[in-house]
Structure 1
Amino acid sequence: MMNVHDSSCKDQMATCTKHVRRLHAQSSVKERSRRISNSLPGASGGTHLRASQSFMERRTVSVPSKASLQGSLSAGVLPRTASGKVIDEDESQEKKKDEDTTNQLLPTEPSNMTDGMSVSMESLDEGAVCVFPGSGDTAELEDDPDLALLAEEAEAWSVTVDKKTLRKMSAKDIKRQDHIWEFVQTEKSHCRTLKIMQRILAHGMLNEAGLTKDMVDRIFPKLDTLLDIHLTFLRRLTERQRLHSDKSIDEIGDVFVQQFKGDMGERMKTAYGEFCSRHNESVQLYKDILKSDRKFQNFIKKCSRNSLCKRKGVPECILLVTQRMTKYPLLIEPIIKTTKDTRMDSKLLEQALLLARDILNSVDRQVDAREKEHELIEIYNKLDARSSALYKSKKFKKSDLLSNNRKLVHQGYIKWMTARGKPFEVLAVILSDVIFFLSENNQKYTFFSQDNKVGLEKDSMFSELKFSCSKVDL
């Protein structure tokens, strides 16, 4: 402390630097804050992540190191507390009295920013698919306008409208709207399942579990086609709902016919035929990989912790898809029953029901044909290569079972009566052009021919073959 006698003495004193140092310290705080912001995810030049990624707010409160914080805060961005509350800039400066205090918050040793993050961060590498809620594809699914995953849907149309509207309607019309509402809701649920299968399971198998595209396609055959088919259908249904503010639908039969008829109907036959006929193969392949592949096991465990995947593992999702076509007739029938016969919609609904059943029958035939292929392969594998039979004066060998595009029509055990009247169990195999019999010994098949009888063409077997059966499973 110095006493100043008069104004002339002030000129002889050294300038006080305390205020200047304080301003400099405050400036340093701002500069460091700017450098911190630009190094965080979401700042310019950094890694771009969705704002919904919740790991940003679950991060530990510790401040990142100097080494990892390069850049400057973009204009207008203020620092926040761990809870997300904005800190006023003046308040922040008052708490940081000088540059030394600021330096204490920035450790000189590099810190690991991932220490406080969820294990789901393993999936945030470039090109990887995230399988945890609030990040990656899961966040996109939640925001998907087609699915409205976060929106609470009413169980019935009648609970979404006011009582005044319901009093103007008959009980039959209210039930009709409820049945249509149920149809739309189940279609939306089916699309959710397909999107979860595609965006979380299939993409994750490729990018995280390391499966080949061929293997993923074998687990989820025709998945992309099925998703496209059903999203198109769902959009048409929701467009029809939007015609009225209360989401009631006057006519719906034309939308159903458009879906089940023509090109779209053929696409459904092909896609569902492929998917359903390979159901058992898909599930078995999944189980085989799960037993032997540790990386795949870890991926499936992550998916099981995903809120969208709960109670929907791979086998469950596959089963749900195979069942969808069987639901359409059951959903359309009550709509028909509550639709007046005088309405044009009634005829269209009847047509749609027939078309849906036709698709279902086509899928069943494809599933049956696939099963027959496997049965024929099993017979082929068990047949002794040294065994043969006569057919059209030529040897009929093991290799002939699969030649000429032969198809298995039916197989079953019968009891062949020997000349002495003793029953003898043999396997009767009916192919697309020939019938023959096999006997089994030591888990191997051999061609069975009593009294050197030859194999017969299928069309003539009943006229030329004479045998009695005490038990026929054909």
Structure 2
Amino acid sequence: MAPLRPGMTLTPRGLSAPPADHAHCTSGSLEMDEVDGFRFKRFLEDSISLAPSSVDSTIVEDDEYAALRGELESDAQDFEAESWSCNVDPQYLKTHQKEAIKRQDVIYELIQTEVHHVRTLKLLLQVHARELRTALQMEEEKMERLFPQVENLLEIHSHFLRCLKQRRHESLQPGSQRNYAIQRLADVLTAQFSGEWGDRMTECYGEFCSHHSDAVSFYKEQLQSSKRFQSVIRKISNLSIVRRLGIPECILLITQRITKYPVLVERILHNTEAGSVEQQELARALALLKERIGRVDGLVSVSERAARLRDITGRLEPKSQGRMKDGRVFRREDLAPGRRSLLHHAPVTWKATSGRLKDILAVLCSDVILLLQEKDQKYTFSTVDSKPSVISLQKLIVREVALEEKAMFLICALC
């Protein structure tokens, strides 16, 4: 068969943590180490203060959300300060070594950002979703498209936050509500990222992150096409409890959250006594966490490939047919969901016997390769030198082309 030249390689989008920003606070006589630049990592959600905001005349005060406001303030209690160093008594702070202070600061940051994350989930579910459901009687199918797995994610992270705050409570010094030092945290992390809770987190984030783009696109479509939708969104944006968190912003924050845990846990691990049992258990917890993120990444990749195959199928001309070497006909119906899965797709150049080059799309499925050509944003099966446009992966031989880098022969026999 004539050689194919790969034009590009597509790599499924992965979940990766954004670069860390840092801020810092000094308390009492504590000095910061300029060599390692100890600062507190500030995530995107941290920029949204939990303190009460000033309200001008354009803000709608809604008594309906007084209970939720109180709930959010209760969640944030004991975590309003910038850091653990700024929160405990100065005299208590002086009883700790620099490494121990760094460890407690990072643990505090983990809990504080978890407070922020739970707040985001509650606002999305108990304000945005509630208003849309009440005002528009929006169908559950559309609600699920906008807010996939949000209820389950709120349950998962509320449980995690309760466990973290309980460990803080258990670590309080006798007679104090401010002074504490958490010595053991690995067991809480391990319980959250393994077993039933870990499985639920993988499943829920896999679905939520897979539908991230679709949810934002659907939101924009509704905003452009429905004046009633616009009116409800305008009302929500004027609620003082919401502030700057619209639906797209909430979705982005939720999508990013799971990728931020490894950085925090690595910093806790770095500031834990070397060779201690806690350090060893933290290392195992970190490995569990990274494994979870890898699984979520895999689920997102599978979902993206399935969506791309549906797109290719939808753009394939209904009457276009491809032929295999044994004479069998391949139709658009043969790409129906469940019949085969997409492994990879990329533009390639097909070199005809005459030397003419033709740009085509190579679609690698679980059992065949499809060679398609595009015209007016539609696909048809490619025809070059009467060669088959559908190639079975059974008995397929791939050979390099001498003196031509990134070129190959596809040699197929009758099956």
Alignment TM class, shorter chain as reference? 0.7 to 0.9
Residue of structure 2 aligned with 1:229, choices 143, 156, 159: 156
Are the structure 2 counterparts of residues 212 and 164 from structure 1 closer, same or farther at C-alpha, using a change threshold of 3 Å?
same
1:410 and 1:213 mapped to 2: Cα distance?
A: 34
Secondary structure, in 3 states, of the residue corresponding to 2:137?
coil
Structure-1 residue corresponding to 2:185: 252
Letter in 2 for 1:135: D
CA contact (8 A) 2:361 2:373 kept: yes
Letter in 1 for 2:396: M
1:75-99 residue CA offsets vs partner (Å, 9 max, x unmatched)? xxxxxxxxxxxxxxxxxxxxxxxxx
CA contact (8 A) 1:146 1:235 kept: no
Larger relative CO (CA 8 A, sep 6+): 1 or 2? 2
Unpaired runs of at least 5, structure 2: 1-56, 174-178, 408-415
Structure-2 residue corresponding to 1:329: 262
2:383 and 2:186 mapped to 1: Cα distance?
A: 58
Task: Give the share of equivalent positions with the same residue, in percent.
Answer: 36
- Please say which of residues 360-369 and 274-283 is displaced more in the overlay: 360-369
Letter in 2 for 1:418: A
Q: Say if 2:294 is the partner of 1:361.
A: yes
Structure-1 residue corresponding to 2:382: 448
Per the TM alignment, residue 404 of structure 1 is displaced from its structure 2 partner at its CA by: 5.2
Q: How does 1:132-143 map to 2 (within 5 A)?
A: 133=61, 135-136=63-64, 138-143=65-70
Residue of structure 2 aligned with 1:457, choices 381, 392, 404: 392
Structure-2 residue corresponding to 1:300: 233
Structure that is richer in strand per residue: 2
Letter in 1 for 2:204: A
Per the TM alignment, residue 222 of structure 1 is displaced from its structure 2 partner at its CA by: 0.7
Letter in 2 for 1:215: K
Are the structure 2 counterparts of residues 119 and 207 from structure 1 closer, same or farther at C-alpha, using a change threshold of 3 Å?
farther
Structure-2 residue corresponding to 1:13: none
Structure-2 residue corresponding to 1:187: 114
Residue of structure 2 aligned with 1:431, choices 349, 362, 365: 365
Are the structure 2 counterparts of residues 459 and 341 from structure 1 closer, same or farther at C-alpha, using a change threshold of 3 Å?
farther
Q: Say if 2:139 is the partner of 1:212.
A: yes
Structure-2 residue corresponding to 1:200: 127
CA contact (8 A) 2:318 2:332 kept: yes
Q: Say if 2:93 is the partner of 1:160.
A: no
Per the TM alignment, residue 464 of structure 1 is displaced from its structure 2 partner at its CA by: 7.9
Residue of structure 1 aligned with 2:352, choices 408, 418, 436: 418
CA contact (8 A) 2:353 2:385 kept: no
CA contact (8 A) 2:79 2:112 kept: no
2:116 and 2:104 mapped to 1: Cα distance?
A: 18
CA contact (8 A) 1:218 1:282 kept: yes
Per the TM alignment, residue 153 of structure 1 is displaced from its structure 2 partner at its CA by: 0.6
Per the TM alignment, residue 443 of structure 1 is displaced from its structure 2 partner at its CA by: 2.6
1:162-208 residue CA offsets vs partner (Å, 9 max, x unmatched)? 23222221100000000000000000100000001111011111012
Are the structure 2 counterparts of residues 289 and 442 from structure 1 closer, same or farther at C-alpha, using a change threshold of 3 Å?
closer
Q: Say if 2:151 is the partner of 1:240.
A: no
Are the structure 2 counterparts of residues 400 and 178 from structure 1 closer, same or farther at C-alpha, using a change threshold of 3 Å?
same
Are the structure 2 counterparts of residues 199 and 414 from structure 1 closer, same or farther at C-alpha, using a change threshold of 3 Å?
same
Per the TM alignment, residue 119 of structure 1 is displaced from its structure 2 partner at its CA by: 11
Letter in 1 for 2:391: L
Q: Say if 2:281 is the partner of 1:281.
A: no
Residue of structure 2 aligned with 1:315, choices 248, 252, 257: 248
Secondary structure, in 3 states, of the residue corresponding to 2:372?
strand
Per the TM alignment, residue 225 of structure 1 is displaced from its structure 2 partner at its CA by: 0.3
Secondary structure, in 3 states, of the residue corresponding to 2:347?
strand
Are the structure 2 counterparts of residues 149 and 165 from structure 1 closer, same or farther at C-alpha, using a change threshold of 3 Å?
closer
Secondary structure, in 3 states, of the residue corresponding to 2:346?
strand
Structure-1 residue corresponding to 2:313: 380
Q: How does 1:170-185 map to 2 (within 5 A)?
A: 170-185=97-112
Letter in 2 for 1:189: H
1:367-408 residue CA offsets vs partner (Å, 9 max, x unmatched)? 112211221122112212222122343101111122653111
Residue of structure 2 aligned with 1:395, choices 308, 326, 329: 329
Are the structure 2 counterparts of residues 145 and 278 from structure 1 closer, same or farther at C-alpha, using a change threshold of 3 Å?
closer
1:147 and 1:421 mapped to 2: Cα distance?
A: 73
Residue of structure 1 aligned with 2:280, choices 331, 334, 347: 347
Letter in 2 for 1:461: L
1:221-243 residue CA offsets vs partner (Å, 9 max, x unmatched)? 01110000000000000000001
Structure-2 residue corresponding to 1:17: none
Number of equivalenced pairs: 343
